[in-house]
Amino acid sequence: MSKQYKNTDTIRAGLKKRYAREKRFQFFGIASIFISFLFLLVLLVNIFSQGYPAFQQTYVKLDVKLDGSVIGVSKDSSPEELFKASYGKLIKNTLKEMFPGVKDRKKKRALKQLVSKSAAYDLRDKIIENPALLGTTQSFWFLAKDDVDVFMKGDIDRTLPEADRRIKDFQLKWIDKLLAENRLEKRFNTTFFTAGDSREPEQAGIKGALIGSLLTMLVTMALSFPIGVLAAIYLEEFAPQNNRWVDIIEININNLAAVPSIVFGLLGLAVFIGFFGVPRSAPLVGGLVLTLMTLPTIIIASRAAIKSVPPSIREAALGLGASKVQTTFGHVVPLAMPGILTGTIIGMAQALGETAPLLMIGMVAFVADVPQGILDPSTVMPVQIYLWSDSPERAFTERTSAAIMVLIAFLVVMNFIAVLLRKKFERKW
Amino acid sequence: MVTAMTDTTKEKQMTDQRDSINDRVANKESESNAADNRSSMDDIHKNEEFDIEINGTVGKPFVDNVKMSSRNCDVFYGDKQAIFDVNVDIGNHEILAMIGPSGCGKSTYLRVLNRMNDTIPICRVTGEHKLDGEDIYSKKMDPVLLRARVGMVFQKPNPFPKSIYDNVAYGAKLHGLVRTRSDLDDLVEKSLIRAGLWKEVKDDLHKPGTGLSGGQQQRLCIARTIAVDPEVILMDEPTSALDPIATALIEELMIELSGKYTIAIVTHSMQQAARVSNRTAYFHLGKLVEVNETDKVFTNPEHKLTENYITGRFG
């Protein structure tokens, strides 16, 4: 019996080993998923815990005596005169009244720095809006200076020796007094989402970089998607097979995908800015450079997707009398669309996170204004993150993390839209 | 080689039904040679059943009432010649069956007739091929128009990943054959009725065509082809992937359609050829060996090779 069914015994003997191997493989798989999740979790927790305070900002309430004579204006002054007046004096006087007896020059300066420099501009805007306020005393909430803000968020330990703290004992007394009078309040940080970059952390916002990234991505998308997909379609469906030139193009595209991105930046600097005179630091030139970088990714992914469309579909359409172009755009491309979109997502995500090539074309500049169009100087989010992470102020640390969170959110939204689009095309029958 | 062997095995099973097993054992060697074809000529020469010289086509390759014709047809794939000097006519409203061992060039020849070989860059077709007296390989002949006139049904059912309705309507929309939505609806219904699929799918017209069973899919492909109302329908082993019931349905359909269309069918099943066709052409190693009335081919073949093939001496 056992001799007759020798194979059965051999197979049975080996079964245990096979299942063990399978189990081992599954374990490794689960372990690697677990490890990658762990890393992701550490990263996210770190960023979120550092970044979430940036979404709050401390405000100071000051009762400002709006004495027009101090700054040389009255209710009847023209808007121009109102605009030119130095409202900083009013705020300085208010603070002097609140904390009398500050004589020391250094302390005087410290007193002025309880509120942000932007307070004077806020005040100006309010008075231009309603000059009738002049001569009255009004309460306003102003942005607190970053040091006060950092202290309010508990990032400065008052138990440390005075020399080791950024906030000295006399400043602490002022803050305690303000706190006692309920003049300090933490609110949602709208400035972060409505302002461009600034030297002052409390006035710095991500909007400039966000819009810059958005415009750059739009340029990149508008150029790289059609060019990449059409190139892939031509190479895959129409180009002559076994042609030397097609082979050379193919090799070059594959090589371009591996070129370090900073090289594309140099190319963009030389060609787009140097030769064609595209304005530097603009989303247009950024988009052009990132298009160069994204194209190989999109072309390679699209070609793979087009190649995987079964030839029977092409034959069916051709056999019914569809022309080559009708077959390609009516059947092949729609079926390849999910794969093409996947490639595009990967390419665009890469482009969104890219810093190096943009440094070369001037997008690393300090740009305080929110760009209005693709020709305005601007920066992008990864560059903004890099710039902030380089700043010495404590308040920029949390803004760096917050900017990373915004970047991640941007990426998630972008990918979500792409996944929705892909779902729409992915008609699995 | 491996796939070719499987094909031979399939044919073997089919011929088995008719022939004694004893016959086959002796010829086992020649079967594998048939699959191997030209690559091992030396082996083939040992088999006298297989290695018989072909001197032109015997039988009656030409007819009076010609729909399509080929003269001196050679087909090359790169340097390799796949078809050698084929001369044959396809008559109006007839069903011409093409049989022969795997790799004998019958499918290649079928694809010559609607220029599907154009899609293969290395493929070169010579000779004179006519549809109603017009040269189909001339510069004046548009392949798009040709394929609208000469429809094709493929071996593997290949419906578009669209709804049943869109599958049938596609060709008509493509060529602008209908003007209104209701005309299109009528055309879809008519085509599905003629393909014998209407009853099964009339409530599911907007369900995907790829969700149908294999036999239904193939009938959908036939409906899609006849919706364009071609003059000739080429069928490349249309039932090879189907069960006997679906096959029977499609065979009935072919006979019905032959009243209106001219049909050329490539098949591996000799019973199928015998059942549906008016004339049968036997291909061997890229050469057309014999064309005759189907009855004559299966009862009294003129050529020894044809006889050997239909009696199952090689597959």
Closest CB from A310, A312, A318 relative to B119: A318
User: Distance from B144 to chain A by nearest Cα, in Å?
Assistant: 5
Residue A165 counted as domain residue? yes
Cα distance from B58 to chain A (closest Cα, Å)? 32
Q: How many CB pairs under 8 A join A and B?
A: 66
Which pLDDT belongs to residue A412? 92
Residue A336 lies in a domain: yes
Domain-located, residue A200: no
Record: contact B121-A242, CB cut-off 8 A: yes
At residue A185, the 3 state secondary structure works out as strand
* In a shared domain, residues A42 and A145: no
Check residue B15 and give its pLDDT.
42
So what's the pLDDT on residue A207?
93
Is there a single domain that holds both residue A266 and residue A369? yes
Q: Work out the average pLDDT over A100-113.
A: 85
Q: Could you tell me the pLDDT band of residue A407, with boundaries at 50, 70 and 90?
A: very high
Chain A hits for B159, Cβ within 8 Å: 316
Residue A28 structural domain: 6-52
pLDDT of residue B39: 44
A149, A173, A194 - which closes a domain:
A194
Domains contained in chain B, CATH given: 3-310 (3.40.50.300)
* Residue A242 vs residue A127, higher pLDDT: A127
Give chain B positions within 8 Å (CB) of A317.
160, 170
Give the distance from residue B291's alpha carbon to the nearest chain A alpha carbon, in angstroms.
Answer: 26
Residues A79 and A17 in one domain: no
With an 8 Å Cβ cutoff, is B193 touching chain A?
no
Q: Which is nearest to B160 in space by CA: B113, B220, B116?
A: B220
Q: Which of B151, B175, B208 lies closest to A319 in CB terms?
A: B151
pLDDT at A291: 95
How large is the average pLDDT for residues A69-98? 85
**pLDDT at residue A3 in the model:** 63
Buried b (16+ CB within 10 A) or exposed e, A122-136: bbbebbeeebebbee
Kindly identify which residue of chain B lies nearest to residue A335, measuring between CA atoms: B161
Looking at the structure, tell me whether residues A324 and A219 fall in a common domain.
Answer: yes
Say yes or no: A253 and A287 in one domain: yes
Side-chain half-sphere of B306: how many Cα atoms within 13 Å? 25
Closest residue of A to B172, CA-based? A320
Q: Which position has the higher pLDDT, A77 or A209? A: A209
* Nearest-CA distance B54 → chain A (Å): 33
pLDDT of res. A317: 92
pLDDT of residue A82: 84
Q: In chain A, how many domains are there?
A: 3
**Is A28 inside any structural domain?**
yes
Is the domain of A333 the same as that of A395?
A: yes
Tokens of A79: 């808007």
Residue A284 has pLDDT above 90, yes or no: yes
* Positions in chain B short of pLDDT 70: 1-51, 314-315
A187-204 mean pLDDT: 90
Q: Give yes or no for B35 touching A (CB within 8 A).
A: no
Residues A119 and A157 in one domain: yes
Chain B residues within 8 A of A331 when measuring between CB atoms: 160
Q: Do A316 and B159 touch (CB under 8 A)?
A: yes
**How far does B165 lie from chain A, in Å, by closest CA?**
14
The verdict on A257 and A149 lying in the same domain is: no
- Indicate if the pLDDT at residue A25 is higher than 70: yes
CB-based contact (8 Å) between A429 and chain B? yes
Nearest to A331 among B116, B144, B160 (CB): B160
Residue A199 domain flag: no
Supply the pLDDT for residue B183: 92
Contact B144 A319 (CB under 8 A): no
Residue type, A123: L
pLDDT cut 90: percent of chain A above it: 43
B116–A319 C-beta distance less than 8 A: yes
Query: Cβ separation of A321 and B154 shorter than 8 Å?
Result: no
Which residue out of B136, B142, B144, B212 would a mutagenesis test of the A interface target, given it has the greatest number of A Cβ atoms within 10 Å?
B144
* pLDDT single digits (tens) A347-357: 999 999 999 99
Candidate from A315, A323, A429 with C-beta closest to B116: A315
Residue A429 pLDDT greater than 80, yes or no: no
Residues 223-252 of A with CB under 8 A from B: 240-242
Is residue A182 located within the same domain as residue A273? no
Q: Residues of B numbered 202-261 whose beta carbons fall under 8 angstroms of chain A's beta carbons: which are they?
A: 208-211, 221, 224-225, 228
Interacting residues of A224 by C-beta distance below 8 A, sequence separation 6+: A290, A291, A294, A295, A298, A344, A347, A348, A351
B114 shares contact with chain A (CB less than 8 Å): yes
Residue B24, pLDDT score: 39
Distance from C-alpha of A296 to C-alpha of A232, rounded to nearest angstrom: 10
Same domain, A63 and A43: no
Taking an 8 Å cut-off on Cβ atoms, the answer to whether A312 and B160 are in contact is no
Shortest Cα distance, chain A CAs vs residue B156, angstroms:
8
Sign of the torsion formed by the C-alpha atoms of A61, A62, A66 and A70: negative
A chain contacts of residue B231, beta-carbon cutoff 8 Å:
none
Distance CA A416, CA A404 (A): 18
Residue A319 lies in a domain: yes
> What is the chain B residue with the closest CA to A427?
B161
Determine whether the interchain pair B209/A312 forms a contact, defined as Cβ–Cβ distance below 8 Å: no
Q: Does the residue A282 lie in any domain?
A: yes
The answer on A13 and A112 residing in a single domain is no
- 3-class secondary structure, A61: strand
More confident residue, A222 or B210: A222
Spatial distance between the Cα atoms of A159 and A128, rounded to a whole number of angstroms: 44
DSSP string computed for A344-405: HHHHHHHHHT--HHHHHTTTTS---SPP-STTS----HHHHHHHHHT---HHHHHHHHHHHH
Asked if B171 has any chain A CB less than 8 Å from its own CB, the reply is yes
B161–A427 C-beta distance less than 8 A: yes
SS3 A417: helix
Please, which residues bridge with residue A184 across strands? A60
What are the tens digits of pLDDT across the range A307-346? Answer: 999 999 999 999 888 889 999 999 999 999 989 998 999 9
Subunit contact B158:A429, Cβ cutoff 8 A: no
Same-domain pairing of A243 and A255: yes
* Cβ <8 Å between B159 and A335: no
For residue A155, being part of any structural domain is answered with yes
For B42-68, the pLDDT digits (tens) are 444 445 666 677 777 888 888 888 899
